[in-house]
Amino acid sequence: MSETLVLRGGTVFDGLGSPGVVADVVIADGVVRAVAPGAAAAETGARVGDCAGQYVAPGFVDAHSHSDTVPLMADAQPFKLLQGVTTEVAGNCGFSFAPLDEASATVVDELYGELGCNLPATPGTFAGFLDRVERAGPTNHLAYLVGHHTLRLTANGAADELRPGAVEEMQRLAAEAFQAGAVGFSTGLIYPPGCFADRAELEAIARVAGAYGRTYATHMRDEGRFVEDAIDEAVAIARAGGVRLQISHCKAAGRAAHGKSAALLDRIERARLAGVDVMGDQYPYLAGGTVLLALLPNRAAEGGAAAMTARLSDPDYRPGLRKDAERGDTGDGMWANTTAAQVIVTGHRDPDVVGRTIADVAGQRGTDGFDTLCDLVVEDPAAMIVVEMMAEPDVRAIMASPLVGIGSDNGPPLGLQHPRTYGCFPRLLGAYVRDQNVLSWAEAIRKATSLTARQFGLAGRGVLLPGAQADVTVFDPQRIGHAGTYTDPDVTPDGIETVVLGGRVVVDGGGFTGERAGRVLRA
């Protein structure tokens, strides 16, 4: 039996979009026992937190996380708890860290090592990976997707062409992951090797996901000029599998796509009317963050890191690649939709380039932007960037949609990360709810809680009602916010006063208590 906790006198939001009401919240044995005015009076010997003037909400649920291996880091990492996030959905954009064999683990380290907290990828099953995370003691709850990249690398190697039996092996590995508790599968169709997959390959995995009642989350093949075609492909895959669909980090990316938020939302709404259960997620920033090689056409990455660096080191290869990159069609990378001055290098083996734009590095080296991009990838195939992509009117329009929840798309808490890693949810509530009135408090909290919990089948989470799991965030609506910037992101958010995880107080007075009370949430 655990102690009874009473959160007294705050304005309580149920997470379903209802207006807040002043009430007491009673928690015992990891479960919400009562939510009612005056409920505290019936409790004796309870731990009482005075929440007068504060908002009491379900713990925030991050729809889009790359915190897969964060629990395996030596020290506890409370960067999500300090935002009020109690549950993350990890394994997004096709990147998961299981199932792996020796060969695929090597490729993951070479291309995506920073996403794995620079910890060596370990061969093993999906079930074994979840067990490792559970033993390590997560700081907050984590639900995992199995990544298509990982399935493909393990079943097929780094080649772009499928070998006989590879699709069937991916299906078998996916089924094992779902049996182990994966809440769905994800794709990242601008990254290798996922970018080489056709629709039939993805539909084959979706049918397995559908048999287990799981969700399909996708970083689509295009988020810019051809976003409508990309949504149509995602919807077709979801329909073929009979699965729920999550459109990751909804955006109109790149100058040529500015204004396309209306088309994106229209496609989502039409798909729902046609019977596909599709939702999305969004982070409240104008810049995104990704791997540096995402700026290059897909063909540059064929065959894995060694083949890519050899190809990019060949001066005779670059003119044709430049032509494709400047064309900017689907599969041509993101270079045509940005400028060298808009790309900040946030992770690289050469510390001298970290925190600087490609334009700045090019000026120092006496090369042009595209050649500098290629050189930087050769020097570190796993390099990371922050890149300006979106227009404010599109961000606001997508945010206002009731069909789009909140996902930080965070990287691991290492080096120079995008500020969304440390402040996504407080920024939404401070800048866009309190200051700019883009959303009401009740609607913003719904989008940050129950919308995502429902989409990924996280029963008992994302709501603050009797019988729900006792994951709760208490914040000061007048103070909540985040002052982090693209060059100084690691700033503790303001206004998050108390976070309760499974009935235990893990953030108290705005500070982390040190307790690792998280769990792996298995479907």
Number of domains comprising the chain: 2
Q: Hey, what are 419's tokens? A: 């500020």
Condensed to tens digits (0 to 9), the pLDDT of residues 294-343 reads 999 999 988 888 899 999 999 999 999 999 999 989 899 999 989 999 99
Q: How confident is the model at residue 520 (pLDDT cuts 50, 70, 90)?
A: very high
Name the domain boundary from 368, 384, 400: 384
Mean pLDDT within 272-286: 98
Mean pLDDT within 62-88: 98
**479 is a domain residue:** yes
pLDDT surpassing 90 at residue 467: yes
**261-298 burial by CB neighbour count: b if 16+ within 10 A, else e?**
beebbebbeebeeeebebbbbbbbbebbbbbbbbbbbb
Name the domain boundary from 384, 417, 433: 384
**94 is a domain residue:** no
**477 is a domain residue:** yes
Condensed to tens digits (0 to 9), the pLDDT of residues 156-198 reads 998 889 999 999 999 999 999 999 999 999 999 999 999 999 9
pLDDT surpassing 60 at residue 1: no
How far from the centroid of its chain's Cα atoms is residue 238's Cα? 19
**47 is a domain residue:** yes
Mean pLDDT, the chain, rounded, equals: 96
**423 is a domain residue:** no
DSSP per residue, 222-289: -SSTTHHHHHHHHHHHHHHHT-EEEE-S----SGGGTTTHHHHHHHHHHHHHTT--EEEEE-S-SEEE
How far from the centroid of its chain's Cα atoms is residue 235's Cα? 20
Query: Counting Cβ atoms within 10 Å, is residue 27 exposed (0-12), middle (13-18) or buried (19+)?
Result: buried
CATH number of the domain enclosing 10: 2.30.40.10
Instruction: Report the phi/psi class of residue 17: left, alpha or beta, with left for phi > 0 and alpha for psi in -120 to 50.
Output: left
Q: How many Å apart are CA 248 and CA 269, to the nearest integer? A: 15
Structural domain harbouring 483:
5-58+466-512
Condensed to tens digits (0 to 9), the pLDDT of residues 301-314 reads 888 888 999 999 99
Condensed to tens digits (0 to 9), the pLDDT of residues 435-444 reads 999 999 999 9
DSSP per residue, 158-189: T-SSPPTTHHHHHHHHHHHHHHHT--EEEEET
**483 is a domain residue:** yes
Name the domain boundary from 359, 384, 409: 384
Condensed to tens digits (0 to 9), the pLDDT of residues 498-517 reads 999 999 999 999 999 999 99
Residue 89, CA distances (Å) to 349, 423, 456 in order: 29, 17, 8
Condensed to tens digits (0 to 9), the pLDDT of residues 137-152 reads 999 999 999 999 999 9
- Predicted TM-score (pTM) of this structure: 0.95
**495 is a domain residue:** yes
